[in-house]
Amino acid sequence: MGMGRKTEEACLTFVYFHFNYRTRQHAVKFNQQKQKQTVDSSSSCFKIPPLTLTWVSVFILFLFSPVFPAISARHHHQIFRPRQQSNKMKLVEAHLNKINKPFVKSIQSPDGDTIDCVLSHHQPAFDHPKLKGQKPLDPPESYDQAENRSENHQLWSLSGESCPEGTIPIRRTTKQDILRANSIRKFGRKIRPIRRDTSSYGHEHAVGYVSGNKYYGAKASINVWAPKVANRYEFSLSQMWLISGSFGNDLNTIEAGWQVSPELYGDSHPRFFTYWTTDAYQTTGCYNLLCSGFIQTNNRIAIGAAISPTSLYNGGQFDISLLIWKDPKHGNWWLEFGKGTLVGYWPASLFTHLRDHASMVQFGGEIVNSRASGSHTLTQMGSGHFSGLGFSKASYFRNMQVVDWGNNLIPLSNFKILADHPNCYDIRGGTNRAWGNYIYYGGPGKNPRCP
């Protein structure tokens, strides 16, 4: 069943906001003020006649007595703020204990990450009420699965170490990761989408998409770059979206690709990521394994880990192949990385609309434009160059396909492209025998045509 033009247009407006950052006040240095006050008082006491000193003492006692609320309240405020900070750190520690599971081995990555090898049945997924007590399913028989020998292409694996069988690699979350977030509760989550015309802030896209049919998966090879991100509150990503629902409170999505996110990871490396939601990003879903839901089965791929190598302008090009497909037997959505390497799956029970099928598939790039300097952001999309420059200069998706009801990969039909702000980031599509359906997309952000 088709989604209709109104719903289709609504898809291309869902944007997320990460900018409700509250200004923090600094605590008063009470002890320094108290010390200074004591020195000043003692030096002036020698100038006060003996009879006057008695009245001054009475006055000081009166000021610091409980019946003088102004001084009492101020003093209470000064000792309360450090306690507030202490309570926050307790919440941070509690959240870390929730998502960082006990491990049997840890591996240090060259980029500073720590990868923990966690027993597969202890992973965060099984904290979900619908998944408690379960264990990972065996991989289904894939129609296009190779011998599971593809290269890893992740920095942490360059050491030659790996996680033992029966465990999965999980990027350890640090205290600094959580403190960079807008709030502890929203750590690892997107903000509920709001239409672009309701705010000057928002996410900007350059995407190709198909809609109007029932889709049971999607596949593409995604060119990997390291775009510059202007500040820690913005990101740049390239991904596939499987979408179903009305773009209201019941929006379901499954997402996978690569992203540069200083807020989430604390650096500028492109990283392999996943996301899901079943209620329009309100309370369900998260990036990677930062909440319960996605069940990982692979012991060699770490979701959220840095990708290496990356593409070079007018030089060597590197891409990753991603496939998301629905297992006909159990209905779960499996994620494949590279040639036949199954990473894990999103259980069908997590979803409402996506329990059956997707009604739209998107491929492309997205950035956050916070307009922190009062003008358009300098955050780059893709390679940071416009689509017209073509191969080795612009970023691309190639061999884009969807999965039909018979579990077959088929070319895209009625494929459309759209760029929210074509003077900042643009897109163009095409087909050929080598690449099938493909797109070039991206841009530099702020430039003379994008003020």
Query: CA 4 to CA 281: how far, in whole Å?
Result: 23
Query: CA 193 to CA 191: how far, in whole Å?
Result: 6
CA distances from 445 to 71, 230, 426 (A): 53, 10, 10
Of the candidates 446, 444, 450, the one whose C-alpha atom is nearest the C-alpha of residue 227 is 444
CA atoms within 13 A on the CB side of 170: 31
Query: CA 380 to CA 201: how far, in whole Å?
Result: 16
Sign of the Cα pseudo-torsion (235, 439, 278, 113, in order): negative
- Which helix (H) or strand (E) segment is 271 a member of? strand 271-277
Cβ contact 239:354 at 8 Å: no
Query: CA 444 to CA 29: how far, in whole Å?
Result: 45
- Which helix (H) or strand (E) segment is 428 a member of? strand 426-432
Residue 231: other Cβ atoms inside 10 A: 14
Query: CA 395 to CA 382: how far, in whole Å?
Result: 5
pLDDT at position 30 is 33
Residue 266: other Cβ atoms inside 10 A: 15
Q: The whole model's pTM is what?
A: 0.79
Residue in this structure with the two tokens 């930062």, named with its chain if needed: 290
Of the candidates 319, 371, 402, the one whose C-alpha atom is nearest the C-alpha of residue 17 is 371
Q: Which residues of the chain have pLDDT under 50?
A: 1-80, 143, 147-148, 193-201
Using alpha carbons only, what angle is made at residue 409 by residues 404 and 413, rounded to the nearest 5 degrees? 70
Cβ contact 278:354 at 8 Å: yes
Residues designated as active site? 255, 366
- Which helix (H) or strand (E) segment is 90 a member of? helix 69-99
Q: For the chain, how big is the Rg over CA atoms in Å?
A: 27
According to DSSP, the β-strands at 333-337 and 319-326 are: antiparallel
375-420 pLDDT tens trace? 999 999 999 999 999 999 999 999 999 999 999 999 999 999 999 9
Output the DSSP codes for 98-161: HHS---SEEEE-TTS-EEEEEEGGGSGGGGSTTTTT--PPPPP--TT---S-----BGGGGGS-
Single-letter residue type at 227: P
Query: CA 35 to CA 437: how far, in whole Å?
Result: 73
According to DSSP, the β-strands at 319-326 and 217-223 are: antiparallel
Question: Chain-centre distance of CA 302, in angstroms?
Answer: 15
